Amino acid sequence: MLEIEFCDVSKVYNPGLFKPRVRAVSELCLDVIQGEVFGLIGPNGAGKSTTIRLLLGLLRPDVGKILYRGRTSEIRSIQGELGYLPETPYLYDHLTLEELLAFCGRVSGLSPAIVAQRGVRLMDRLAIIDARRRPLRTFSKGMLQRAGICFALLHDPSLIVLDEPMSGLDPVGRKMVFDLLTDLKQRGKTIFFCSHILSDVERLCDRIGIMNRGRLLQIVGRESFVSKGRDMLHLEVERLDELQNRTLRPFVTALDDECSSTIVSFPATDLPRVADKVQSMGVKVLGSRNERLSLEDLFMLTVKAD
Amino acid sequence: MKKLLALALITFYEGIRNRSVFGIAIFSMFVFGLNVIVAGFFMRDIGKVTIDMNLSGLSVAGLLLVFFVVVNLMAKDIDRKTVHLVLSKPITRVEYIWGKYLGVVLFVFVSMAVLFMFSCFTVILVKGMHSDYFAQFSWTVFSLAALFVFLKIAVLGAVVVLFSTLTSNSFITLIFSISVFIVGTSVEDVLFFLRSGLAAQDVAVSKTLWIVIEVVSYLVPNLAVFDYKISAAHGLMPAWGQLGLSLGYGAVYIVVLLVVASCVFSRREFN
């Protein structure tokens, strides 16, 4: 069953008088299936946060529509089952974490006993239980992020929307949040999130969407993503000049110049052909690796090609 | 209703724990204390001066609370995008506006009630020192006048809520709210001056300006209707009908402002 459907959604911002309009999201078609973890990645200004705000009903699409659970375009119908964490959670400075969670419980229709029970469990899990009676203005950035996660998850939502959940966290905090998200995934929750930490996205997501300049360029499923990279081979050769570059390009998938070398990527089955060509050009091979294409490689290739 | 109260409660906590509140409270106590000291400097009407100073102090404290704390409570929510978090919960935008306003009113009421108690203490002190000048003093009228100062602040709170929904910038909200206060307190005098025919002797008022002033007088709340300082100072009980009209005017104005704010907020997009 589809949890969220973006049907040809476009959004243009009007930054003010005499300023050009900004196309934040363009013809976005995207489905998120119930129970999956969907990651949205892209460079800054790609339209990820706008997509999340459209999903939450904070922005209205100029064109197209967003369907929730395949039947309604009213966010209100699923709001009780939605948990959201913004990129930088600005919480109420003078409230304590306990008061914030009590507020969350009251508006979500939870009894005080359940709020206390779930609150303690979440705060304990995210290691902020000792700070529960401190005003939020005394929290560090990482603690605020964890407090924001508690606020998003207290009512045990089935759809979780996270904008940069690992932002501002130290390695220990990142591990805690990562484990928490893995648990939620195992419990069948639908998670839709944006992140710049590609290794986390790669490990956690069932499907990954790559956005650039407001457009969704590619959706890569976990299986297809792994198999796509599995039979790729990468040779590190000395830096190719323009002529060598042009000669080799028809035989390979990608040529990426690094500081003093060039990375030549091609399907493993093409190895004899590429090796012959490299040898005939008299180019020195510095190294090779046959690991699968990392998400970072794929992301860079996709964005560069756009 | 449960959601409104939950929102009102966190707004109240946010307001009452703001450090500016302590500053405003200290300033008000200074004004009340000053009243005790300066009361003896006056040769007559000590009672009138005391009541006037106390109600003015209460009014200024209320204005400071609205302009420096309530503006922050409302506009910063939008400015800092805290509202995104709140609206991701099962709270409608209309509930958000009314809940926030309830919290603001609760905060202003509690703060002003505390200040009113200090004010009463000052009055008791001065009354004890110069009892001859308090022959006409009435606690009922004094309390009613203070209640209408609170109502004026509640109307201004609704104005702040409306402007917060129109702009994301707390400074713009502050400037517009102060403008409404200035126009609101003086509009009745301006209209009286223009209608009395005195204006014709001094200045030529164009038809367009006349229309503009008429329109503004209907748009901007007439805050002078909540001013019962003179009645309180003379210990004269205003007519119940007049009090009822002032109360009704304030209540209707608040409801209208909040309904407009709810409509604007419901259509608003949050970038």
**CATH number of the domain bearing residue A44:** 3.40.50.300
Tokens coding B271 = 């970038």
The last residue of one of the domains, among A194, A226, A258, is: A226
Closest CA to B39 of B28, B51, B30: B51
State the nearest Cα–Cα gap between B198 and chain A, in angstroms. 44
Task: Answer yes or no: do A241 and A218 share one domain.
Answer: no
Contact: A13, B85; criterion CB under 8 Å: no
Task: Answer yes or no: do A53 and A195 share one domain.
Answer: yes
Q: Cβ neighbours of residue A231 under 8 Å, at least 6 residues apart?
A: A267, A268, A269
Task: Answer yes or no: do A201 and A281 share one domain.
Answer: no
Tokens coding B101 = 């306003």
| Chain B residues with at least one Cβ partner in A under 8 Å | 2-3, 5-7, 9-10, 13-14, 17-18, 80-82, 84-85, 87-92, 269-271
| Rounded CA separation A9/B121 (Å) | 64
Q: Measured between beta carbons, which residues in chain B are less than 8 angstroms from residue A93?
A: 14
Contact: B3, A60; criterion CB under 8 Å: no
Q: Measured between beta carbons, which residues in chain B are less than 8 angstroms from residue A90?
A: 80-82, 85
Closest CA to B77 of B30, B69, B132, A57: B69
Task: Answer yes or no: do A135 and A6 share one domain.
Answer: yes
Number of domains in chain A: 2
Residue of A nearest to B15 (CA): A94
pLDDT for B151 beyond 90: yes
Contact: A58, B269; criterion CB under 8 Å: yes
| Rounded CA separation A114/A285 (Å) | 63
Contact: A53, B81; criterion CB under 8 Å: no
Question: What pLDDT is recorded for position A226?
Answer: 57
Task: Answer yes or no: do A132 and A273 share one domain.
Answer: no
Closest CA to B90 of A163, A116, A33, A103: A103
Residue ranges of the alpha helices (H) in A1-135? 48-56, 97-107, 112-125
Q: Is the ipTM of this complex over 0.90?
A: no
* Pairs across A and B, CB distance < 8 A: 78
pLDDT of chain A along its 306 residues, tens only? 777 888 888 888 877 777 788 888 888 888 888 888 898 888 888 888 889 988 888 888 888 888 888 776 677 777 778 889 888 788 888 889 989 999 988 888 888 898 888 889 888 888 888 888 898 888 888 888 888 999 999 888 888 998 888 877 888 888 888 888 888 888 888 999 888 777 778 778 888 888 888 888 888 877 655 555 557 777 888 888 888 888 888 888 878 777 678 888 888 788 888 888 888 888 888 777 665 556 666 676 676 666
* pLDDT tens readout for residues B29-75: 888 888 878 877 776 777 788 888 888 888 998 999 999 888 888 88
* pLDDT tens readout for residues B196-236: 766 666 666 777 877 887 788 788 888 888 888 888 878 78
Residue of A nearest to B86 (CA): A104
- The pTM (predicted TM-score) of the whole model is 0.80
Contact: B82, A95; criterion CB under 8 Å: no
3-state class (DSSP) for residue B1: coil
Tell me the residue ranges of DSSP E strands in chain A.
Answer: 2-13, 22-33, 37-41, 63-68, 82-85, 159-163, 190-194, 207-212, 215-221, 232-238, 254-257, 261-267, 285-289
State the nearest Cα–Cα gap between A128 and chain B, in angstroms. 20
Number of domains in chain B: 1
CA A306 from chain centre, in angstroms, equals 19
| Rounded CA separation B103/B74 (Å) | 10
The last residue of one of the domains, among A210, A226, A242, is: A226
Residue of B nearest to A148 (CA): B85
Residue B128: which domain range?
A: 2-267
Which CATH number characterizes residue A301's domain?
A: 3.30.70.980
Q: Measured between beta carbons, which residues in chain B are less than 8 angstroms from residue A76?
A: 90, 92
Residue A200: which domain range?
A: 2-226
State the nearest Cα–Cα gap between B4 and chain A, in angstroms. 9
